[in-house]
Amino acid sequence: MKLRYKFNLLALGVLLPVGIAISIAGVFTIERLAYRMNRKLMEAEVVKVLEDIRSAHKVLTESGVAAVDSYVRRAQADILDKYRDFRFGRTGRIQIVAEPSSRQLLPQLAKQQNPDIIYDEIVAQGAQGFWEHAHGKKEQFHYHAGFPAWNWVVLMSVDVEEMLAERNAFLNQVTWILLLGLVVGLLIFAWFARTIVAPVQQLSEAALAISQGDWKKNLPQSNAVDEVGDLTRAFSQMSEHLSAAHGDLAKQAKALQNTNTRLHLEITEHQQTQQEIFHLNQELEQRVLQRTAQLKVANQELEAFAYSVSHDLRAPLRSIDGFSQALLDDYGEQLDEEGQEFLQRVRGASQRMAQLIDDLLYLSRITRGEMIRQPVDLSSLADLVSKELQKNNPQRQVEMVVQPEVKADGDPRLLRVVLENLLSNAWKFTGRRKQGRIEFGMERNRSTTEDAPPVELVYYVRDNGAGFDPAYSEKLFGVFQRLHRIDEFPGTGIGLATVQRIIHRHGGQVWADGEVEKGATFFFTL
């Protein structure tokens, strides 16, 4: 159903029931008020008559003539005269009846005229009260009350039709007003439908056409200065923008289609390339495997060779050292001082070579051994190593500062080797300091050199020892590389190489920072 018809039905549905409800309520209210008002007025009039009667009776009583027939008749005649011409509205009148003969005193009756008071009804209603009675075709509303001293009943009557005249007039007026209101209401709703519903309907049709792709549909126009006008104009603008956007979108879709085609070709080419790369990779991997196998074999051969060489070299060295010792022990007295010194040098060289060979073997074992990663408490390890160093050299004054709770994930055996090398190095190079200081700890995001990658956790061992020339820092981790004379600081030059091997096996980095006589700091990551 069209919206405008719905609105018309709504208007009828609202106006008619409301109007009828108000009318019915009004009719009932007026009828009730009419009855109530007439009850009060009629009662007041009857009471007024009775008051006159009572007053007259009282005067007669006080004058001592209440029982004098002539006086009573005179007083009654005066009362009847007073109310003879009484009128209450158009049909209301006062009637007075004398009991028990039911003789009508007022209005006076002509001879042979029947009384128009229904005395039986009065008796039936009791001493006083309101009642309705059909008098011929007329409905009458009555109120009566009696004055027993005179045996009088005063009756007030009014036609119900007159009593409810206001109700009927109201009903007529309301009917006309309702009809007029209905017409005016329908006109207002028609105007409402024309100014609000019609534009909304046009909007609806336009929106429907646009939703079906009909961009050529005429858009609704409105000059109304209200929300519907604003909506119509906004819808038109929005539709125009949508139409333009739709055109742009079509162009872009076409361009996208071209791009897709080109991309499809490129993807095909890319897939072919990938296929080729895959084949090449497979070939490369095959080659790497072959090379790795060859390298492994070569490495095993090299290690076996190194082990054999080292092991085999130890026997003659032990002989050289042993016989040199025997020479010194057995024939030392026959040798002069220079000869003894030479033998001592031979022994020293052979022992030193043996040490070198041991170190090489050690380095080799470390490189070849299996690595087991697990959480490691580096602070505890550093404390342990420090205590051993202090125990072995109790005369040294070295302040060992170990940062607590430094943890790491690595092989505990290898990491102990790292800390033993770095701490013993620091211990060694602070040997000429009266008060040495060695620190172990951990920093975050610390990058001391340009080459060092930015890392999250950096472990360090710092000392205030002899330091080194930073120009040679690259050589520090080479095998048998030394930056000091052996008589200054003993060593084989294999320790830091070992450290570097272990750190590399953990996937970390190791580097050093220092200056001559200003101490050194070794950093490593894991």
* CB of 63 or CB of 282, closer to other proteins: 63
| CB of 81 vs other proteins, minimal distance in Å | 10
Nearest-approach distance from CB 156 to other proteins, in angstroms: 21
Q: Rounded to the nearest whole angstrom, what is the least distance from the CB of residue 28 to other proteins in the complex?
A: 44
Pairing label, strands 152-159, 93-98: antiparallel
List the one residue from 40, 103, 254, 279 that touches other proteins (CB under 8 A): 103
524 bridge partner residues: 459, 510
Least distance CB 129 / other proteins (angstroms): 22
SS3 for 473-506 is: HHHCCCCCCCCCCCCCCCCCCCHHHHHHHHHHHC
Site string for other proteins, 56-75 (x = CB under 8 A): x--xx-xxxx-xxxxxxxxx
Nearest-angstrom CA–CA distance, 80 and 77: 5
Rounded distance between C-alpha atoms, residue 388 and residue 382, angstroms: 10
Residues 133-192 that bind other proteins (CB under 8 A): 150-151
Q: CB of 62: closest distance to other proteins in angstroms? A: 7
14 touching other proteins, by CB under 8 A: no
Residue 67 or 315 having the CB closest to other proteins: 67
**In the complex, minimum distance from the CB of residue 155 to other proteins, in angstroms, rounded to a whole number:** 17
Contacts of 334 (CB under 8 A, 6+ apart): none
Number of residues near other proteins (by CB under 8 A):
26
CB of 68 to other proteins, least distance (A): 5
DSSP string for residues in 267-313: HHHHHHHHHHHHHHHHHHHHHHHHHHHHHHHHHHHHHHHHHHHHHHH
- Residue 463 CA to residue 520 CA, distance in Å, equals 6
Q: Which of 2, 11, 1 is nearest to 187 (CA)?
A: 11
385-392 long-range Cβ contacts below 8 angstroms, 24+ apart? 385/416, 385/419, 385/420, 385/423, 385/424, 386/423, 386/438, 386/440, 389/423, 389/424, 389/427
Cα–Cα distance measured from residue 427 to residue 390, given in angstroms and rounded to the nearest whole number: 9
* Of the residues 43, 99, 358, 383, which one makes contact with other proteins according to CB under 8 A: 99
Comparison of 62 and 333: residue with beta carbon closer to other proteins: 62
CB closer to other proteins, 152 vs 522: 152
What number of other Cβ atoms are within 10 A of residue 144's Cβ?
24
Which residues in 26-55 contact other proteins (CB under 8 A)?
A: 55
Comparison of 65 and 200: residue with beta carbon closer to other proteins: 65
SS3 228: helix
Among 47, 98, 228, 242, binds other proteins (CB under 8 A): 98
What kind and span of H or E run contains 399? strand 398-402
CB of 99 to other proteins, least distance (A): 7
Among 38, 76, 157, 492, binds other proteins (CB under 8 A): 76
Which residues neighbour 506 within 8 Å (Cβ) at sequence distance 6 or greater? 371, 373, 410, 411, 414, 526
Binding mask 457-486 for other proteins (x = CB under 8 A): ------------------------------
Cβ at position 91, least distance to other proteins in Å: 29
Among 100, 136, 213, 375, binds other proteins (CB under 8 A): 100
**Positions in the binding site for other proteins (CB under 8 A):** 55-56, 59-60, 62-65, 67-76, 78, 98-101, 103, 150-151
